[in-house]
Amino acid sequence: MFGRIESERRKRDGKAESCIYYAALSKRLTPRKVMDINREHWSVENNLHWALDVVFNEDDARARKNHAPQNLSFIRRMALDILNAHPDKRSPARKMKLAAWSKEFFFELFTHMR
């Protein structure tokens, strides 16, 4: 089964832009459920990218050769997971600064991994 999603957005200049997306489905779903799943997918994707870009400046990374981009991306995601696993309520960016300033806090980050 397939789902079809038609989207339309208005640009700042007032012009409308429309797109049609198709999704492969494993079971029959209501149109509302297809939209909810689609939005959920993109929110996870956008939230992860936003965190990596803000905390690690991933968009400014200059690694281009061989496997360097994939390897560095993996390391960044692992570091973000370590920062998020720590129970302190501060932001990952703040935790990263604290880890750079304090060896004790740096080592403490690793004690909360599962």
Instruction: Tell me: pLDDT of 102 over 80.
Output: yes
pLDDT digits (tens, 9 = 90+) for 40-92: 877 666 666 777 877 887 777 787 888 888 888 888 888 888 988 899 899 88
Percent of the chain with pLDDT over 70: 94
pTM, full prediction: 0.56
For 21-44, how does the pLDDT look when each residue is reduced to its tens digit (9 = 90+)?
Answer: 888 888 998 888 888 887 887 766
Query: Is there a contact between 52 and 76 (Cβ–Cβ < 8 Å)?
Result: yes
